[in-house]
Chains A and B, each alone.
Chain A
């Protein structure tokens, strides 16, 4: 195992910046250094905005995780009072410290919403996308810096509104993250705040998508053709199109649900709906299925928004830590573009149980099976990239390697769900929860951790501690599997989702109830395993081993900028001379050839054929 923390670099020795962290905002000749508010709160610099998104996203992830840990108590010990915390949450939520079902539902709905919309996407797209993409394409910033700042604030304040819903009379949203009507139309005020928060978040993402697409198309450095882009940039590019074209459907649906709740319209309310023994006094004529169609039209592409940036990060980390080019760059790019396009025509596989006719269910099953092909191609290319590599087991690489089998499990377990007949058995059970968590938790989240360890030296000029990285990784890997693997078993036994007592009142799942305790203790162990990471994250900013500009001997253009990069990123406009993963080029001194280093143009040879230089 190579210890990179004390690497000396010939290229950076002349700069002499290995001894101290770079001044983040030196006096610029054109304008004076901004004050606190302009620098930290209303920044238009993509790097600061990226850090804002990342920080806020990580805080929301922690909060969303905490909500789940509360739920896990009730699932392991239904009805029992929670020690300490129980009394703090008051009688409307936990009378006598024991959780009310309504509160359990609030926790569930908000856990899902916060993790997906306030945690993962802002971190993966807003955080990593904003910080890394302009640097990787050799640009001074995003195309629309002020729009970028506005996007962050729309996200932040939308998040505040969402959190505020916990304090609304009746509590927070409690109809699941999916907010199906008619239930969501008649829930207390917190649901309205949920919708308002979503409208803010969607606006933030839409404007962010406009920014990313324009930046990637317009601001690529000279010589950086689309086929020379790092895979991470391709992933963010496709992700942005998904956000741009799919989110408006939920925006429209959200507006309609808002009208239903506030103006008493009946977009989603059928005639003659009986609530608590009384017929609801609305005009009727609406369709609950309309909501489902519009919601899932967004929410299916949304899951690809969750996974694609993660695949991009894993690709970067693997190429760098195997010291060889990615296997199958072209198939990777073509696959990620196909996934983007196909993701728009699979959404009704979330609706197989709504009474859909066989023609439609056949269509959606077919498209769902087809979309698994490019996903498998991407995973295969990433795995094959390991073959023959000089693997360095750095902390980012540990997380990236773990991603591969974890995403494999998550992806494969999705196949029975995508076929209508087995879905009859699995729909709305713990099997579904296990499937999607495998993709997002040991999948995406691990990839995001890899990204944090990987790009932390670029953002701060210091490495994170390797020891603490191991202390974070190994227990997390163990416990996260302890949380989600048993859920497959529970789901196959028929245990339903969203039951506040975890199915304790049903006899057919009595034999798998004990697994709730295994899962809950694993969840709490997982929480403890994050402590080394939190310590590492803050401690390393001041005391981490200093890192040179090219902390990992990497090839992509962001490593040609100082660490951290100043305003404007590059002193001289970088030019791309070759592909993004020119590692171990035969005949070249050193085991990597940076993309923006002047020199003869080289292209990675097809594996198995002689390199053009030797032909």
Chain B
């Protein structure tokens, strides 16, 4: 599709006065909307929590070690993601496959750990309907997990079937990997805030049922 894409300017090269190409501006705009999306959830969280004296203690109900592991997994995946971009800039296919594979793999680890966490919650009769805290926990981490899944899909595509673009249009490919990276880092960033808020910052007596 490169002839059709070439008809639209600045798909690969930066526009001189803005210094940006189209996808980079596009992804930052999208991330701005995602900030507002997760921000609205956080706003809801604060409103519900400050109005509720019987807020369950997260650390009682959730596993901090597992979540710490997940935090480390996600941060590491951000490093492997940025290394994939370096590989794309260097036009090094083997390195790209290695680091993209690692990123997707670490994403999968995150999802598996999350799966264990969710299963444990249901086993202990703490589903989303148990309390507003659990409702927040499942909704926020669930939405986040959907984003991780989407990112994994995109990254897998660029690392493997889509990597042949590195031969035909290396700079556009590198731009796309960078943009995929921006999304992935954002997903990591959201988790960096979710982790302390949901797991570390809960006090007070657990909800009595």
> A interface vs B, CB < 8 Å?
30-31, 139-141, 143-145, 206-207, 209-211, 213-214, 217-219, 244-249, 251-253, 255-256, 259, 263-267, 282-287, 289-290, 293-294, 297, 568
Q: Indicate whether A218 sits within 8 Å of B10 (C-beta atoms), given known contacts A209-B33, A252-B41, A290-B47.
A: yes
Nearest CB of chain B from residue A308's CB, rounded to whole Å: 18
Q: Give complex CA distance A45, B22 in Å.
A: 17
Q: Indicate whether A267 sits within 8 Å of B18 (C-beta atoms), given known contacts A210-B30, A259-B128, A287-B51.
A: no
Q: Is the CB of A283 within 8 A of B207?
A: yes
Nearest CB of chain A from residue B28's CB, rounded to whole Å: 9
Q: Is the CB of A140 within 8 A of B138?
A: no
Q: Is the CB of A265 within 8 A of B48?
A: no
Q: Indicate whether A286 sits within 8 Å of B36 (C-beta atoms), given known contacts A209-B29, A255-B143.
A: no
Is B201 an interface residue, CB under 8 A from the partner? no
Is B20 an interface residue, CB under 8 A from the partner? yes
Is B131 an interface residue, CB under 8 A from the partner? yes
Contact residue among A31, A210, A265 (Cβ-Cβ distance under 8 Å from B4) = A31
Contact residue among A140, A218, A252 (Cβ-Cβ distance under 8 Å from B40) = A252
Q: Indicate whether A143 sits within 8 Å of B22 (C-beta atoms), given known contacts A248-B34, A293-B47.
A: yes
Q: Is the CB of A265 within 8 A of B15?
A: no
Nearest CB of chain A from residue B37's CB, rounded to whole Å: 4
* Residues of chain B contacted by A31 (CB below 8 angstroms): 3-4
Q: Is the CB of A256 within 8 A of B33?
A: no
Nearest CB of chain B from residue A114's CB, rounded to whole Å: 24
- Residue of A144, A210, A252, A293 contacting most chain B CB atoms (<10 Å): A252
Q: Is the CB of B32 within 8 A of A245?
A: yes
Q: Is the CB of A265 within 8 A of B135?
A: yes
Is B63 an interface residue, CB under 8 A from the partner? no
Q: Is the CB of A259 within 8 A of B139?
A: yes
Q: What are 22 A-B contacts with C-beta separation under 8 Å?
A: A31-B4, A139-B8, A141-B8, A209-B29, A210-B30, A211-B26, A217-B18, A218-B9, A218-B15, A219-B9, A252-B40, A255-B139, A259-B138, A263-B129, A264-B129, A265-B135, A265-B139, A267-B135, A285-B131, A287-B48, A290-B47, A297-B40
Q: Indicate whether A267 sits within 8 Å of B44 (C-beta atoms), given known contacts A218-B18, A255-B139, A259-B139.
A: yes
Q: Is the CB of A283 within 8 A of B9?
A: no
* Residues of chain B contacted by A259 (CB below 8 angstroms): 128, 135, 138-139
Number of B residues with CB within 8 Å of any CB on chain A: 44
Q: Which 3 A-B pairs have the closest CB atoms?
A: A265-B135, A252-B40, A248-B37
Produce 1/0 per residue, B1-37, CB < 8 A to A: 0011001111000010010111001100110111011
* Residues of chain A contacted by B30 (CB below 8 angstroms): 206-207, 210
Q: Indicate whether A285 sits within 8 Å of B132 (C-beta atoms), given known contacts A143-B8, A214-B22.
A: yes
Nearest CB of chain A from residue B96's CB, rounded to whole Å: 24
Q: Indicate whether A266 sits within 8 Å of B29 (C-beta atoms), given known contacts A30-B3, A219-B8, A285-B48.
A: no
* Residues of chain A contacted by B130 (CB below 8 angstroms): 283
Interface of B is mostly: helix
Nearest B residue (CB) for A285? B132
Q: Is the CB of A144 within 8 A of B135?
A: no
* Residues of chain B contacted by A140 (CB below 8 angstroms): 7-8
Apart from A253-B40, A256-B139, list 13 A-B contacts with CB within 8 A.
A209-B33, A217-B25, A218-B21, A219-B22, A248-B34, A248-B37, A252-B38, A265-B132, A283-B131, A283-B135, A285-B54, A287-B48, A294-B40
* Residues of chain B contacted by A206 (CB below 8 angstroms): 30, 33
* Residues of chain A contacted by B138 (CB below 8 angstroms): 259, 263, 265
Q: Is the CB of A265 within 8 A of B40?
A: no
Q: Is the CB of B22 within 8 A of A256?
A: no
Q: Is the CB of B129 within 8 A of A282?
A: yes
Q: Is the CB of B33 within 8 A of A247?
A: yes
Q: Is the CB of B37 within 8 A of A251?
A: yes
Q: Is the CB of B48 within 8 A of A267?
A: yes
* Residues of chain B contacted by A248 (CB below 8 angstroms): 33-34, 36-37, 39-40
Q: Give complex CA distance A568, B26 in Å.
A: 21
Is B127 an interface residue, CB under 8 A from the partner? yes
- Residue of A139, A141, A266 contacting most chain B CB atoms (<10 Å): A266
Nearest CB of chain A from residue B111's CB, rounded to whole Å: 19
Contact residue among A210, A246, A297 (Cβ-Cβ distance under 8 Å from B26) = A210
* Residues of chain A contacted by B25 (CB below 8 angstroms): 213-214, 217-218
Q: Give complex CA distance A457, B149 in Å.
A: 46
Q: Give complex CA distance A253, B37 in Å.
A: 9
Nearest A residue (CB) for B3? A30
Nearest A residue (CB) for B133? A285
